[in-house]
Chain A
Amino acid sequence: MAAVRNKFLVSRESSQFVSAASLRVRLDWFNKLRWGAAAGILVAVTVTNVYLSQSLPLIPLLVTTGVLLLLNLGYVLRNQRLAPKDIDAELRLVKLQMVGDLLVLTTLLNLTGGVENPLLYIYVVHVMLASLLFKGSEIYQITWLAIFLFTAEVMGEYLGVLPNHHLLSAGALTHELPFISVSLASFWMVMLFCAYMGASIMKHNRSIKDELVEQQAELVKADKAKMDFFRFVTHEVKSPVNTAQSAVETALELGSGKMSPAVEDMLTRAVRRLQQATEIVKDLADLTRGGMLKKENLQVVDLSRLVDRLAARLRDVADRSGQKIVLQVPDEPVVITTNLSMVDKIITNLVSNAVRYNKDGGQVDVALTSERKVVLLKVADQGIGIAPEDQSRIFEEFFRSAEAQKKTTLGTGLGLAIVRKFVDDLGGSLKLESEVGFGSTFTVSLPRAPGKALAPKRDKRTMS
């Protein structure tokens, strides 16, 4: 009840749509644009004054361009020295830049024909940008400032308060009231319309973004709850299953030769099923282990040697169904810093899956390639393949495709879930290509060093 009421009472402010870093990328781009604009002004002034026999006021134009250059130099230096951390600080800068740009723009317009100059479109660009970046009243502050500046400029020229610098032969327009009124009216309308449209679209976008962020957090929470549950069950089931298996194995051992065949058969079946249960417990323990990587669990691993060794271990199983495991491993060591037991598990699970679901007499290709920042491990079989609709589910816990179940009753349905989790934990990525009846190829990309995957330093659990 309380929770429901809160949902209505707490009016949360929506988040910003852009991040400080992504905004900075665009701001740097705008700085470049400003250099271009200054160069453009100089070229335009030269062209009009020399070739079009116009006499635009050279000195004021140069001074204004100089101001623009100085301002821009300030922005560039500021961006170089300050890392983009605080989105509010970045947005304050944007506002300042917009005010500066609008003042420079108005001055330039005044020097180059005012209402006669079509470059007044640039006001609209500013309002559009403001409506994308700012919220609520801030958008209208910029919009009204632009409207005020342009209206003041046009009326100033009309009333003779500001000097006229006519553009080409358009001289008379500045003093024609009907033209000015229509220009100003459409200007106001376009500006306010843009501000309103941008503001309402972005408000909608922001609420969608907030919803997605919230849902993402819910998903993470649900996943954690699931893992906690698995961990709990594993812990509780582990000992009884172990002890029961030991009991039955001991009974078989002690009674060997003294039991009726029927009893021995029962106990053998029981052991086999308990071994299955133990496999599930082991897999669940793997799946729920860890969390983030800890520095003390990392070591330097030569993947070439590890792949060699693991493949050798699985050759017997492959031989039994006439399969070949073909390795394509560089001669030189492929060295990465990682968690050995997790990588071991990833490779073992992928290769033993490939062998398990391959066709009899088929081939399993295991290829290791080394790139600059990552190493790629590719495991390909020629087996049953995975239907497109199953490909996203294959990494879920306990999911086994219908074909896989038909092929064998072995398998806990946890192998690929473990692979996905460990690849994630190690900061890598995983790709699956598969065609039903032709086989599957899993490609794991692992970083040479764990980098971001590493847990921030915390107080260590000590053992002794």
Chain B
Amino acid sequence: MNKKTILIIDDDIDLVEIIRVTLENENYEVIDAQNGDRGVAMARDRNPDLILLDVMMSKVDEGFQVAYELRGDAATKDIPILMLTAVVDQSGFDFNPDKDAEFLPVDEFLEKPVSPRKLVDMIRKHLPTSV
């Protein structure tokens, strides 16, 4: 059986565990990293089928930096990225997915809290069908 692997990059360990339960229940293999650097390294090593990336980790735009880094690397540039965004954050950093989409290196924005059903739907939508 060819299990798909999903990498979660998020520093909120509780959220990682919650998502893990949902995804493992859907028969995905889940790996995780709690910071951007480790996330990028893990993406290179394990070549996941999809990445869930938190937009804000400890630094204001760490998520975006990670996304650019992944897109800039031949080994990881084709992996779909779903970005988890918090409600408009406190730094006044204001982006508009409609307007900025072409400049942003991710495939989808999901606003937290994401319901488990919606999360699974979105993952199915973006997972490459052919293996």
A-to-B contact residues, CB < 8 Å: 231, 234-235, 238-239, 241-243, 245-247, 249-250, 253-254, 274, 278, 281-282, 285-286, 288-291, 297, 299, 340-341, 461, 463-464
- In the assembled complex, 19 residue pairs joining A and B whose CB atoms fall closer than 8 Å, in A order, are A234-B90, A242-B15, A242-B86, A242-B113, A243-B15, A246-B113, A246-B116, A249-B113, A253-B115, A253-B116, A285-B90, A286-B88, A288-B90, A289-B90, A290-B92, A341-B94, A341-B96, A463-B61, A464-B65
A291 CA / B115 CA spacing, docked (Å): 32
**Known interface pairs A254-B25, A461-B93; A246-B114 also in contact (CB < 8 Å):** yes
Query: Would you call A246 and B94 a contact (CB within 8 A)?
Result: no
Number of A-B residue pairs at CB separation under 8 A: 75
Which B residues touch A285, using CB under 8 A? 87-90
Leading 3 A-B pairs by shortest Cβ distance: A245-B113, A242-B112, A242-B113
Instruction: Write the nearest CB–CB distance from B130 to chain A, whole angstroms.
Output: 29
A238 CA / B85 CA spacing, docked (Å): 11
Query: Would you call A231 and B64 a contact (CB within 8 A)?
Result: no
Query: Would you call B18 and A281 a contact (CB within 8 A)?
Result: no
A235 CA / B61 CA spacing, docked (Å): 15
Which A residues touch B64, using CB under 8 A? 463-464
Query: Would you call B86 and A238 a contact (CB within 8 A)?
Result: yes
Which A residues touch B25, using CB under 8 A? 254
Query: Would you call A291 and B96 a contact (CB within 8 A)?
Result: no
Name which residue of chain B comes closest to A299, CB basis: B99
Instruction: Write the nearest CB–CB distance from B29 to chain A, whole angstroms.
Output: 18
Which A residues touch B87, using CB under 8 A? 238, 278, 281-282, 285
The answer to whether B117 has its CB under 8 Å from any CB of chain A is yes
Query: Would you call B112 and A231 a contact (CB within 8 A)?
Result: no
Name which residue of chain A comes closest to B95, CB basis: A463
B-to-A contact residues, CB < 8 Å: 12, 14-15, 18-19, 21-22, 25, 61, 64-65, 68, 86-90, 92-94, 96, 99, 112-117
Which of A241, A289, A340 contacts B96 (CB under 8 A)? Answer: A340
Which of A238, A289, A463 contacts B92 (CB under 8 A)? Answer: A289
Query: Would you call A297 and B94 a contact (CB within 8 A)?
Result: yes
**Known interface pairs A239-B12, A464-B68; A289-B94 also in contact (CB < 8 Å):** yes
Which B residues touch A463, using CB under 8 A? 61, 64, 93
A278 CA / B113 CA spacing, docked (Å): 8
Query: Would you call B21 and A250 a contact (CB within 8 A)?
Result: yes
Instruction: Write the nearest CB–CB distance from B90 to chain A, whole angstroms.
Output: 4
Which A residues touch B90, using CB under 8 A? 231, 234-235, 285, 288-289
Query: Would you call A253 and B22 a contact (CB within 8 A)?
Result: yes
Which B residues touch A235, using CB under 8 A? 89-90
Which B residues touch A238, using CB under 8 A? 86-87
A281 CA / B99 CA spacing, docked (Å): 25
A340 CA / B90 CA spacing, docked (Å): 19
Query: Would you call A246 and B15 a contact (CB within 8 A)?
Result: yes
A432 CA / B65 CA spacing, docked (Å): 46
Which of B18, B86, B94 contacts A290 (CB under 8 A)? Answer: B94
Instruction: Write the nearest CB–CB distance from A293 to chain B, whole angstroms.
Output: 11
Additional A-B contact list (20), CB under 8 Å, known A242-B15, A246-B114: A234-B90, A235-B90, A241-B113, A243-B18, A245-B113, A246-B18, A246-B112, A246-B113, A249-B113, A250-B116, A253-B116, A254-B21, A278-B87, A290-B92, A291-B92, A297-B94, A341-B96, A463-B61, A463-B64, A463-B93
Which A residues touch B93, using CB under 8 A? 461, 463
Interface centre among B68, B92, B96, B114 (most CB of A within 10 A): B92
Which B residues touch A340, using CB under 8 A? 96
Which B residues touch A289, using CB under 8 A? 88, 90, 92, 94
